[in-house]
Amino acid sequence: MSEKNAIEGLKTPNTRSSLSTDFKNIGLKKGMVVIVHSSLNSLGWVCGGPVAVIQALKDVVGEEGTIVMPTQTGENSDPSVWGNPPVPEEWWPTIREEMPPFDPDVTPTREMGRIVETFRTHPNVKRSLHPAYSFAAWGAHSDYILSEQPLEAGFGHQSPLAKIYELDGHVLLIGVDHDSNTSLHFAEHAVRDRRKVQKGAAILEDGQRVWKTYEEIEYNADVFAELGSEFEKVHSFKSVIIGKAECKLMSQRKLIDFGREWLTR
């Protein structure tokens, strides 16, 4: 989106202070645990860009609260399953041999948006160690939320998503729909006999780079938009327009409980 298009349709600019007010109006409070999914472009023009959005979130939840964002790195995966973009099969061994290992301090996110990529580098933001499905967190519960994340169940029990569920956290969608709602992957673990697939990633073990293979359920976000729409028909949630973006705040626990039943059916 061009800067001209970002400005058009806005009566006033989005700023740190205006966003703080907007986030309070949607229901964010001091001490809240919230996982955020976002599109900076959806807000229209923001004075200070992603930094202002992050500062506003911190202002509202405070250090006694916790902000979490998914910092996924989908390129650190087995090239045999790549579709965006696919690569020639004869390249696969080279990629497995040469892919840089995941480093929480260095490895950039992939297709997660400017707010997330900026957040992961902010002071006192910490990051989990999963090579494909890491999360970043800031605030009072960040250590607990990131304390463990099994390689074979990146979105499952003991994952950051499970910790947010235990803490009765919330989901904030800023200009994105439920197809970006990572918490729903936790609900997939409730489905019996879920198909498992072989996966791989470059990681550090004892300071050495290795290509690690592991087995995990096959995640599928293709139905999340429909699932989320059905959830919104029967459960209360807050929805407001912030800038140009439709934003939604909901209970993560209620969403996951509904998702487990819906996916099982």
Nearest C-alpha neighbor of 78 from the set 95, 61, 90, 64: 95
Give the mean pLDDT of 173-190.
97
Structure tokens at 188: 């997939």
Model pLDDT for residues 102-126, shown as the tens digit of each residue: 999 999 999 899 999 999 999 999 9
Torsion of CA 227, 233, 237, 242, to 10 degrees: 80
Residue-averaged pLDDT of the chain? 95
The reply to whether the predicted model has a pTM over 0.85 is: yes
Residue 6 has pLDDT above 90, yes or no: no
CA distance 186 to 260: 9
How far is Cα 89 from Cα 238, in angstroms, rounded to an integer? Answer: 47
Inter-residue long-range contacts of 106-111, CB under 8 Å, 24+ positions, other chains counted = 107/73, 107/76, 108/73, 109/71, 109/72, 109/73, 110/72, 110/73, 110/74, 110/75, 111/74
pLDDT in tens, 192-247: 888 999 999 999 999 999 999 999 999 999 999 999 999 999 999 999 999 999 99
- The pLDDT tens digits for 122-132 are 999 999 999 99
Q: Which tokens sit at 30?
A: 């001091």
pLDDT band of 62, cuts 50, 70, 90: very high
Give the tens place of pLDDT for each residue, 137-163: 999 999 999 999 999 999 999 999 999
Percent of all residues in the chain with a pLDDT value above 70, rounded to a whole number: 99
User: 75: exposed, middle or buried (C-beta count within 10 Å: 0-12, 13-18, 19+)?
Assistant: middle
Residue 20 corresponds to which amino acid? Answer: S
User: Is the backbone of residue 83 left (phi > 0), alpha (psi -120 to 50) or beta?
Assistant: alpha
